[in-house]
Structure 1
């Protein structure tokens, strides 16, 4: 409406006398802006392949545009969602390189998002490097990213590396930083903003899960799962839904990895079955404990739960029942002799207790 009024005023000021001229709409809409908005709309609707296609077209039409790096950033996000992680990493690196001087905000966010891509690629050392590099440019990052999201993700990496002291230190920084952001936020705190922040603080990838790193993933999840559970509370159709999917995926993947643990080859079948069962018990114990920790955050009977919370804790009950069945089998199934087959906890896990958690 404002654009139309502005066009009418200009038309009058120009003294247009011709009816044809007066009836000809004067367009002040930037065609480049329209294309960017179309890309953003596709991204919001989760039409990720369309985003990639539209960005490629945009790059060919406007190779020197000031909006180019921003548009590439949207493409990189779409590539993440499509699980084309190597392409996403290359795109983020390119953005960071070309925007570092003139668009440092986009550069800093690209480095931060690289941490998610490297995690999906299974390179935790690069995850940590990217997070620390992004933290050096905290001036150009949103407060919630620099004060809360990055510290929580650093804690997750250290927890996966079996360094509980560093993990606890960075978790404390994340909680303190989040409290600071919440206390100083000038704009109203929306459910969408809160759900998104908590999602990014608790996000963990299982894309590289294997029989060799099951305990590693459990330890990482133990450190930050409280944030994903908190994201559920806000009932946001995008971010709470993503948190639910991420939690369900993580637990499902961990359970499947344990339940389908392969038998060792090259030994007698009976010995292979016993060895498999023994290893399943060793891994099932920490997963069972992880679920018990998550259950501590379930709202009490006097508190109303939204559908995301109901779905998650019902799902968790089912997984816990399956794991309990596997552990129960160990009480009646003789394993290899001479070893303690008691289910074990993760190596020095970071213990999260709701009663001492400042944000939950």
Structure 2
């Protein structure tokens, strides 16, 4: 019997958890058994790692292989455990020395030809590994810049399984990636909308400026064409750049959501999200069974969540935002696990005075809606939600 151990990281919400991957090779009919609460993607990894090992020029052990992911009570999801399981099996088969695995954490998905593909949630995973005192972190080359953002992390980018095995056997030097120096925001991050574009509407401009200065939630009500959306779109340009801690928080959320661009691994500008009014509560708060992804409210962490035509949103979707506005966090509970996401955002609402959207002037000249219909329309915004809005302003035509 041969036994080897490697380490990986499971990401639940935006929190990483160290996972020990044990590979046991025993006599018996050749098969591979995976234990430790794996999801469907992990069950499919049995075929991925076998093909990757064979296509990397190594023989797959014709033994009864048992792969255990511990702690066994922690749900495991995703394909980021492929690399750790492959090196654990090959270490048990005496292809690589076991001691080379002890000081490393392995993160990455394996293609059938042995290439190491990028995965989500690398930043929170590396943060956990560094906090646990792990010396080196092996990540996909496409995620190396993101992983290098963690202070003190020694990142080894992996292109393919063959290259990783060469490093573990001491046949090649381990490449390292250092954190890039602070630079100006990329063109994609520089806000292209300026408040100087707004002509008139001094009341609306003042409300937006005060909201930006004090971090207040904002509700703008006015007829179509009064500039509600225009003002909201320019609010992010008034906010300051994120500091280092806030940038890492926001980047971790976007990493789990799979929204990080390859050319800009660090989010330095406050994010801005403007969902359609058909967005469900799950889209705003977060959803998923095995893999729980952050919703739009969490993606707007440290930034702006703008709900245009707010009364058209589902009442449940609007009320789902009440608790995050108070606590700044979101908990998505499922049968197997509970994921927590940060959600400290500025909420900006915009609404017409009536559903017909023909209101003009102070008395609503041109509006075809009875007063009861107008009251019911605005009553879709519940009192407890409006109580949490600091600035409520009426805009003129």
TM-score range, shorter chain: under 0.3
Higher helix residue share:
1
**What TM-score do you get using the length of structure 2 for normalisation?**
0.25
Higher strand residue share:
2
